[in-house]
Structure 1
């Protein structure tokens, strides 16, 4: 800025020190229209280098900057080249678990869904940057740790799908599972998902719908039991419908709901005839409002409908 104004500045600024005069930090602040305190590189360094301060750093985040903070963790970690980081494996797992914190779930379920990476992609990108600069040989072990973690289920689902589902192989960042680990990983992953459902925590996860879709793809034999657990805890199945049918979003009217194009993905949980029968029964309830009504109408009518008002989405 000083150069453009034919003026001078005091010092060049160092990125990892959090100085907003550094071009990279200033670009972030200008891009997000926030102040230096909102995008804290100092906080990112504390999170990376001081395990005992991670909880306090997390408590200082807001729903306005939590996603950006995950981006900073990766960028600052890469800049540090691992300096001061003593627990790579645990750090990577903690980043994957961040996604499931209530603050991050709140951000994801708000209507502030700009055209950006999904939160689990952002977290795994940060993990990838750290692993690349510190110890590439740890990538398979760290990937496996995340995939089998009972807390980080959103990131676990992403690691599993990018590793074992052909049409999701769209990354080359090293965070993937070995083919020889498939049996062990899928047993642990599906067991963790079922246990989360029994504990009433599954539909509280950041990407609950994506986790359900992943189960249908990689462990369909476990889906009837999972469906039974979810139905026992909520006989209306309203929350299941919102998560499983609501994978689309656009800037026009927000979330839309529809059945999976691949019928096998739905049949893994329940026959389509039974699900449509249940949808018809739910639609008879006069107290059922949108977006739940839109979700069940999408099943009954076989259309993609916006959750805000039930109008048809052509996307």
Structure 2
């Protein structure tokens, strides 16, 4: 944070009573952060974003994000909400944050939102992308944003396997179970998967090497996408049969699925707010 903040001299930051809800669309390279959510004594995306906004606006802020991403995971469509002083010039705020935090963190857009809009609890869907560099040789230009898999992958088999995941299932085999307090019921890992599809991304001189997995659901549990990717890549390598996925889902056991894919290839791509939450 080397640039001075752009302050609006018309106010001292605003009281709680003179604040408005803001909706920020945020992109970030998660390579050098210990995840998105704030955590004590480590650098996180939200920690840097909040500290920067507080420096610009000269007031304490409480921010909410649409979802947490693990260390090394990236974001293109992360949504953040919070109550900002109502005098804030959002164009200036966006420009100041981007000057101070880019290229690691960028606010793509900033708009005032309805008072009851919440980045997390108003969300009705989330979409991720996962990139795999499938070539014998590494690609230094994509190393921070893709998983390098040397063995040739059977994309057709991976897509057949992915179709078995569509719809409403208990995804316990693909999720890290959340900790619950003693005497409390376990949290449901039932989710509705709306899209799960692999395709090749054409690059000049390398038309077949970059593979992209696009997945969308009502919501995701911890490490669900990376576990699914790891399992489907096992199918592409020939280590699993594409029609074995229903049995993996039915097992409700994390050991039944493949290993967790590395975080480098994962991007939180889009958060949807249309319609109703499936669990409302």
Tell which structure's C-alpha radius of gyration is larger.
Answer: 1
TM-score normalised to structure 1 length:
0.25
Looking at secondary structure, tell me which structure has more strand per residue.
2
TM-score normalised to structure 2 length:
0.27
Looking at secondary structure, tell me which structure has more helix per residue.
1
Q: Which has the higher contact order (CA 8 A, sep 6+)?
A: 2
